[in-house]
Structure 1
């Protein structure tokens, strides 16, 4: 048996980056479209890449967030995000429990992929944003 066979596949958990109130404020949301309750949720976020002007590696501080539960069909705001980091890779690791099984999923916003022109209307929020699956 391969080690990858032991890792449960995660479906129905998404991350959305939304333009808040049609102004230059952005927020990241965790979405539970599963039929299960997500519990003991931990989300870490970090930005990394290269500072083009100085031609050297760049990394933001790692932020950690927690939620007790997220019911089926619910979403929760994880953090605000500033446009100054959109030129970096923005990585989010989401860990949570369902029925005594630990799940992990990585979401990655690529450098310069967050643009208003790339945003679509997300009906769940009635706002424009980018959805990662």
Structure 2
């Protein structure tokens, strides 16, 4: 039953939108990553992403990782410049030691830019962490 399912709060797992150099096009790209800063592996990681504002909305994107090892990260998707003008949400669900965890990471519209990038856990590139 639904009341028997305990969904716990996520700690030490992040979604970051990171600015990276694209050597093929010689341009900086923005990419969304999931970061596992825990000492344990995450299993069956499900990520649902979408973007919207008052007049526009993106299709819903779904991503799945069978396993995200401890102290690692994985690219979720490329973020074109026009997508950064929207509010973007990433709903992350995963299992850790047979327990379900769930969190929505939000990037408000126009909050992802070069002026606010900072260090991101486990990565050499800088970016913005979702709230």
Q: Per the alignment, in what secondary structure is the counterpart of residue 21 of structure 1? A: strand
Aligned twin of 2:12: 12
Alpha-carbon distance in structure 2 between the residues aligned to 1:32 and 1:119: 19
Over residues 10-60 of structure 1, what are the superposed CA-to-partner deviations in whole Å (9 max), with x where a residue is unaligned? 11111111111173311011011112211011111100112xxxxxx3110
Gap regions ≥5 residues in structure 2: none
Q: Which residue, 113, 118, 121 being the options, matches 1:120?
A: 118
Alpha-carbon distance in structure 2 between the residues aligned to 1:49 and 1:105: 21
Count of residue correspondences: 123
Q: TM-score, normalised by structure 2?
A: 0.85
TM-superposed deviation, 1:124:
2.7
Alpha-carbon distance in structure 1 between the residues aligned to 2:106 and 2:42: 21
Aligned twin of 1:64: 62
The 5 A counterparts of 1:90-101 are 90-101=88-99
Alpha-carbon distance in structure 2 between the residues aligned to 1:96 and 1:122: 21
